[in-house]
C-alpha cells in the first residue's frame, strides 16, 4: 500500500473492500486507487475528484507551474 498526501491510497491487487453498510466490492486489477476524499463518483475507487478539490482550494501548484510567493 502506498499513501499519497491529498491523494488516494494505492493498493496492489487483487483487492476486496468492505463498505460501511457491510457490502463488499472487489477488483482484480494489478493496482487500484482507493478514494480518501469521498468525492469519487466511483467510491471506494478513486476517480481523481481530489484533483478538482485541490485546485479549488488552491492547494496545488499554480496553472503556470511557478511556485507560490
Strand bridging mode 31-34 / 24-27: unpaired
Q: Which three cell numbers stand for residue 16?
A: 476486496
Domain ranges of the chain: 2-57
pLDDT at 26: 94
Q: Is the peptide bond before 44 cis (omega within 30 degrees of 0)?
A: yes
pLDDT digits (tens, 9 = 90+) for 19-60: 999 999 999 999 999 998 888 999 999 998 888 765 555 555
DSSP code of 2? E
pLDDT at 3: 83
Amino acid at each position: 500500500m502506498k499513501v499519497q498526501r491529498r491523494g488516494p491510497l494505492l493498493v496492489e491487487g487483487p483487492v476486496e473492500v468492505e463498505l460501511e453498510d457491510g457490502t463488499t466490492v472487489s477488483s482484480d486489477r494489478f493496482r487500484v486507487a482507493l478514494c480518501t476524499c469521498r468525492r469519487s463518483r466511483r467510491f471506494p475507487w478513486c476517480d481523481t475528484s481530489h484533483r478538482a478539490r485541490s485546485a479549488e482550494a488552491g492547494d496545488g501548484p499554480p496553472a503556470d507551474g511557478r511556485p507560490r510567493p
